[in-house]
Structures are given as C-alpha cells and as structure tokens.
A = this chain, B = another copy of it.
Amino acid sequence: MDSATAREQALDAAEELFYGRGIQAVGMDDVRGASGVSLKRLYQLFPAKEQLVEAYLERRDVRWRGRLAEHVARCGDPQERILAVFDWLESWFGEDGFRGCAWINSYGELGATSARVTAQVRAHKGAFRRYLDGLVADAGLPGALAGQLFLLAEGAMVTAGITGSTAPAREAREAARLLLRATAR
C-alpha cells in the first residue's frame, strides 16, 4: 500500500474515532484496527499520537471551512450569504454522528494540557472569525457585527452538540437576521 494512501486511511479512521469518541478514549490500536494501517506504519507516518491528533485537526479544519465556504458562495446576495452560514450549520448539525464542534470538544479535552492543541483551536476559531469578518465587510456592514454573529454561531454549535438538536441553528439564524436589520438600519 502506498504511503500517501496509508496516511489518508489512518487520518480517515482517526477522524471518525477521535471525533466520535473523544481523543483520549481512542488508543493507537483502535486507529490501527479501524484503518488497517499497522502500528509500525502508523508510527512511521506520525511519530507520536499527538502528531496524529494535530494532523487530524488540521485536515478537518481545511475541509470544514471549505465546505462552509462552498455552500455560502452559492448565494449571490451579500446579506443572504451571511444567513447562509447558519443554514449550513443547520445541515451540519443534522448529519449522522454529529457531536458538536471538534475544536471546542478538543479544547475541553486537551486545552489545559496541550499547548499545541490550544494553538490549533485558536487558529481554527480565528480563521472562522476572519471569514465572517469578510462576509460582513462584503455586505458593507460595520465590523462589530461580525463578532456578534460569531458568538451566535459558536453558541449554536455548542448547544446543538450538547442537546443533539438542530434547532439552535434556526434560532441563531433568526437572531442574526434581526441583528442585520438592526445594524443595517
């Protein structure tokens, strides 16, 4: 088996297990079993578990923001694009196996012990925040709105994860709509 595909398979298994069960609850042996990549090869590709965790978060970050941006870009109107963020959240919350935001969960698990994980969580949230900044600027709205939308989105992710409901996305969307109207005047 090719080394690049072994890496992908390992990351596929790691993502499903880490996200679904939590990072600390998953052993390297579980990753081996789910991926079919032997322990020897796993440790060649990722010299320690922490590096597998980092690679998991990094790849998921790229994909997550890509999926969001792709969905949002389908909207032409700048204000609609802002609301489309919350529509996408709703469809994400409804996916099988949804269990909250991977970065918020990772922060809860490892934020106090791993500086690398904390840095990756901050980087991910910073990138999402800047993405919202861009959408708000494109709509010609004041920058302060982006922070408020960000908080709504984060609150929705956390609440959807804990309750298992998609409703927070719609509530956040409605709040965002009101804030847009109030801010645009």
Residue positions of A touching B, CB distance < 8 A: 20-22, 24-25, 99-100, 104-113, 118, 121-122, 125, 144, 147-148, 150-156, 158-159, 161-163, 167-168, 171-172, 174-175, 178-179, 181-183
Q: How far is the CA of A105 from the CA of B104 in the complex (A)?
A: 8
Q: Which of B99, B122, B162, B179 interacts with A162 by CB under 8 Å?
A: B122
A112 to B108, CA, bound (A): 12
CA distance A125 to B159 in the complex (A): 9
In the complex, which of the residues B107, B118, B162 contacts A111, with contact meaning CB atoms closer than 8 Å?
B162
Q: Are B22 and A112 in contact (CB under 8 A)?
A: yes
CB <8 Å contact, A175 and B179: yes
- Set of chain B residues within 8 Å of A183, measured between Cβ atoms: 178
The CA of A168 and the CA of B152, in the complex, are separated in Å by 11
Show 25 residue pairs from A and B whose CB-CB distance is below 8 angstroms, ordered by the A residue. A21-B112, A24-B109, A99-B112, A100-B107, A104-B104, A104-B162, A105-B111, A106-B108, A125-B159, A147-B171, A148-B171, A148-B172, A148-B174, A148-B178, A151-B151, A151-B152, A152-B155, A152-B175, A154-B159, A155-B156, A175-B175, A178-B178, A178-B179, A179-B182, A181-B182
